[in-house]
Amino acid sequence: MEEFILLPPGYSEERPWGKFIVLEDTPTHKVKRLIVYPRKRISYQRHQKRTEHWVIIGGTAHITLDDVVTVHIPGDTVLIAQGTKHRLANKGDEILVLVEVQRGTYFGEDDIERFDDDFGRK
């Protein structure tokens, strides 16, 4: 049986675009709550070792998958397959909130290959 590791409440990391809070971290999956500030976006990126499943909780998400942009509202879900280029943008005046479920073999932040970043990160 899989062992679930719950991290202490408030385990979060600030980013230039907002922040994420890790809700659960196990050997097979990680669950995060992402908060994207108004008029901010994450880097255009991809992961080689995980898939991500996003559930929009609040706000409007502009999601780019391999250069195709779609708009999503609360209740929508989006699957980002391993190796897919993706970007999440908040073009509105309210915060954007979503839950991200990662599945794969590795969940470190160094499994990010960036193609474009508003904040100069590589």
Q: Is the pLDDT of residue 81 over 60?
A: yes
19-31 pLDDT, tens digit per residue, is 999 998 888 999 9
Mean pLDDT across 32-61: 98
Residue 11 pLDDT class (50, 70, 90 cuts)? confident
- pLDDT for residue 1: 44
Q: Is the pLDDT of residue 9 over 90?
A: no
Identify residue 67 by its one-letter amino acid code.
D
Taken in order of first residue, the domains within the chain and their CATH numbers are 12-108 (2.60.120.10)
- Average pLDDT over the chain reads 92
Interatomic CA distance for residues 37 and 59, integer angstroms: 10
- pLDDT for residue 6: 55
pTM of the entire structure?
A: 0.89
- As given in the structure block, the two tokens for residue 30 are 């990680």
